[in-house]
Amino acid sequence: MPMRIKPLISIAIILIIISSVSFTEASELTIRVLIYQGKEFSISGNSLEVSIKNGEQLFIKNSDRVDGRVNSSRLSIKIIEGDKLNELSLDTSSTIDITGENISVNGNNYRGSLRVIYRSNSVIIVNILPLEEYLYGVVPSEVPYYWSKEALKAQAVLARTFALKNIRNTPGKDYDLDDSQNSQVYRGKSGEYNETNEAVDLTRGEVVLYNNSLASVYFHSTCGGHTELPENVWKVEKFPYLNGVECGYCNDSPWTNWEITVKRDAWEKTMGNGEIDIEYDGSGRILRLNGIDGTRMRSVFNLPSTLIIGIEVEEKDVLIKGKGLGHGVGVCQWGMKKMAELGFSYRDIISYYLPGVTVDAYRGF
């Protein structure tokens, strides 16, 4: 018997070491986030190191500020170091890498480093930083920092999974995600709070998995009673954990019920002036109205959701009544909040809205 115990212990130790190495690698991944696009910028910080690639490579150390403006077909750069001023004129396809302390872009603070790319008469600025530090700026931008800890932890795991899933799809591109609702809202270091930073740290490296692969996760503000099928919103692959679930937890949301008034002439321009013909999907949302796709209707009239429970055509206006806010797919954030307050763990919350998934440490693609 003693002869069998030693090999088992050795194997266990090896497995622990392998797991630890994979976990460390996951937590040290970097991400590239588009934070600015335009023709004029100002970057400041302490001890900035500026590396300019414009045919040749130029290094400038210990700078305080870098200002840029697109003029005609050139990018004019001013690099300021105390009383010293370096002025450069760069042509297209130029790249500027900036590192330093307390970096600020147009007044917003960011961790990590920056890459300024000048192409096609426009500038983009990309924030490059560790994935976990990126999440510090995402979680409080997606949900209020004062929500219950388990809700914040659930959001951290969802945001981490979403980011990692997108990194896989951006080889050869200048950035992985942007800082808007098109990806995940990200406000950099300026948007951080201790409470949400702690939620990120407590779930460090954890992601949502399905069949040992990264799950396709989505989240929204308020589902209004039932989550939506993704194929009713976008052209995406179907997964069993995204079939939609009933939700009785988001009634505290300010978007549980809403009313929107649309001018009748604007309504009839899109929907016509005949009878209203509605086709609903399984979640109670409008799939089509008078032949118009529900998501297009939502966009045209700037509606909070497609979960519409009443349409009243009046003499000059059309009154639209509905429930929920957002696309309705995946995790309902206001439902997540209530579940956390009721004592559910972040794992329970994620499993409720995405049945069949697991939450575990990320161990590579």
46 and 190 in a common domain? no
- pLDDT tens for the chain, residues 1 to 365: 343 434 434 434 333 333 333 444 556 799 999 999 999 999 999 999 999 998 778 888 889 999 999 988 899 999 998 888 989 989 888 999 999 999 999 999 999 999 999 988 899 999 999 999 999 999 999 999 999 999 999 999 999 999 999 887 666 789 999 999 889 999 999 999 999 999 999 999 999 999 999 999 999 999 999 999 999 998 888 899 999 999 999 999 999 999 999 999 999 998 888 788 899 998 999 999 988 999 999 999 999 999 999 999 999 999 999 999 999 999 999 999 999 999 999 999 999 999 999 999 998 75
Asked whether residue 248 is domain-assigned, the answer is: no
CATH number assigned to the domain comprising residue 80: 2.60.200
pLDDT tens-digit map of 282-330: 899 999 998 899 999 999 999 999 999 999 999 999 999 999 999 999 9
The pTM for the full model equals: 0.88
Mark whether 202 and 172 lie in a shared domain: yes
Asked, for residue 235, whether it belongs to a domain, the answer is: no
Same domain flag for 272 and 318 = yes
- Residue 45 within a domain: yes
* Residue after which a domain boundary falls, among 129, 152, 179: 129
What does the H/E/C string look like for the chain?
CHHHHHHHHHHHHHHHHHHHHHHHHHHCCEEEEEEEEECEEEEEEEEEEEEEEECEEEEEEEEEEEEEEEECCEEEEEEEECCEEEEEEECCCEEEEEEEEEEEECCEEECCEEEEEEECCEEEEEEEEEHHHHHHHHHHHHCCCCCCHHHHHHHHHHHHHHHHHHHCCCCCCCCCEECCCCCCCCCHHHHCCHHHHHHHHHCCCEEEEECCEECCCCEECECCCECECHHHCCCCCCCHHHCCCECCCCCCCCCCCEEEEEEHHHHHHHHCCCCCCEEECCCCCEEEECCEEHHHHHHHCCCCCCCEEEEEECCCEEEEEECCECCCECEEHHHHHHHHHCCCCHHHHHHHHCCCCEEEECCCC
* Domain count across the chain: 3
Question: Within this chain, do residues 192 and 50 fall inside the same structural domain, yes or no?
Answer: no
Domain that holds residue 203: 133-219+331-361
In a domain, residue 25? The reply is no
Same domain, 72 and 159: no
Last residue of a domain, one of 81, 110, 129: 129
